[in-house]
């Protein structure tokens, strides 16, 4: 994969996926940090440009932990009991796909980037973001809600440890069994339970937000009430999902499910070199592992010859490509294809009570009351 005129190990103009799959990150590369890591990453590949011009460069191990929060990147065995409903559908998929272009004008949640603040609640954010999108998509845009990351974070005991990390699959199970109320970010204070913690500057040297506190926030208490002035009771505000499922550990299956049913929650391993991301297609080249992170998968494409996934992060819009990042697709980069979780909304159990009329035609129309 070397080209005549330089020493790139990975060249986007001459990208060889099979050779990449055989590559291993060396122990010496794992030990790199700071500017040395940045220079190493930039010297080896041209899929992206690493930068040290962000706050992560000074983060302690503890502070990095706040950004993570997935206990196990790979789906648990029980998640694989139910496989995605699109698994055996035979459809022609496009070369590239972006949920924001497909559904963004109908569903505002699809284009939203949230901020988990100083709390390891990514597992909750990746879940409620994808669930909110799916409620809108599957109601043809008639139900637009932002499910509450706080309700899920504080009330799902089976999910794990709140701000100290959780399990994405359990989050989707909680949506099915207990339901999740509406919310919003800290600033807009909308819905039944807005998020407890303010947006903060994790990484950027831009000063849109106050810096994130160095200490992890404690997990908020589970409160089965809505904020003052909200017009519904807590239990009447719960939205439910159908039984959740794992998606096969295979890019075609993942693409199909995303294309037909909407954004998904995915987990991956974060290494120090991910924290140098400023745009482009990420591939892990060096640095220590920091932990597991959950995010929302929204699309796929190819740049030059490099296939990628498009992913929404929950570190506000100053991160990466306006809050998003792209990561190599098709080789389970950092485990991104091994922990894909989804579920369909259960609109019959939602507060908007959707009444279906079953016609003999394949299309089903329904009224919203």
* Of 46, 75, 107, 122, catalytic: 122
Residue of 75, 261, 313, 316 with catalytic role: 313
Is 16 noted as a catalytic residue in this protein? no
| 119 is a catalytic site residue | no
The span from the CA of 163 to the CA of 154, in Å, is 9
Pick the closest to residue 340 from 242, 261, 239 (CA basis): 261
Residue 45 has what DSSP assignment? Answer: B
- Mark 288-304 as b/e (b = at least 16 C-beta within 10 Å): eebbbbbbbbbbbbeee
Helix, strand, or coil (residue 98): strand
Q: For residues 64 and 275, is the Cβ–Cβ distance under 8 A? A: yes
Residue 205 DSSP one-character state: S
Residue 293 bears catalytic tag: yes
Instruction: Give residues with Cβ within 8 angstroms of 363, minimum separation 6.
Output: none
The contacts found for 360-367 with CB under 8 angstroms, 24 or more apart, are none
CA pair distance 110, 104, nearest whole angstrom: 5
* Active-site annotation, residues: 122, 293, 313
């Amino acid at each position: 994969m070397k080209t005549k005129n330089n020493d790139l190990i990975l060249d986007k103009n001459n990208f060889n996926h099979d050779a990449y799959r055989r590559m291993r990150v060396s122990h010496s590369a794992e030990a790199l940090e700071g500017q040395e890591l940045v220079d190493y990453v930039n010297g080896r590949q041209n899929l992206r440009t690493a930068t040290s011009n962000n706050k992560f460069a000074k983060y302690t191990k503890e502070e990095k932990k706040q950004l993570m929060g997935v206990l196990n990147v790979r789906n648990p065995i029980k998640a694989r009991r139910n496989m995605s409903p699109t698994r055996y559908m035979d459809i022609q998929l496009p070369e590239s796909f972006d949920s924001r272009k497909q559904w963004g004008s109908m569903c505002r949640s699809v284009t939203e980037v949230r901020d988990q603040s100083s709390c390891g609640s990514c597992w909750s954010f990746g879940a409620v973001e994808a669930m909110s999108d799916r409620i809108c998509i599957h109601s043809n845009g008639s139900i637009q809600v932002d499910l509450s990351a706080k309700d899920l974070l504080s009330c799902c005991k089976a999910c794990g440890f709140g701000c100290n990390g959780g399990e994405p699959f359990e989050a989707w199970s909680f949506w099915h069994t207990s339901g999740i109320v509406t919310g919003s970010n800290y600033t807009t204070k909308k819905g039944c339970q807005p998020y407890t913690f303010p947006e903060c500057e994790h990484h950027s040297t831009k000063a849109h937000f106050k810096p994130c506190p160095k200490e992890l926030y404690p997990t908020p208490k589970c409160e089965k009430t809505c904020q003052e002035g909200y017009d519904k009771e807590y239990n009447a505000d719960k939205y439910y999902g159908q039984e959740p499922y794992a998606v096969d550990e295979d890019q075609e299956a993942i693409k199909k499910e995303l294309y037909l049913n909407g954004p998904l929650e995915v987990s991956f391993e974060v290494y120090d070199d991910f924290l140098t991301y400023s745009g482009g297609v990420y591939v892990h080249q060096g640095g220590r592992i920091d932990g597991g992170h959950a995010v929302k998968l929204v699309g796929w494409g190819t740049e030059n010859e490099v296939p990628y996934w498009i992913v929404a992060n929950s570190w506000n819009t100053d991160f990466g490509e306006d809050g998003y990042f792209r990561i190599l697709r098709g080789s389970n980069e950092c485990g991104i294809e091994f922990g894909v979780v989804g579920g369909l909304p259960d609109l019959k159990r939602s507060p908007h009570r959707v009444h279906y009329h079953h016609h003999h035609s394949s299309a089903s129309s329904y009224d919203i009351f």
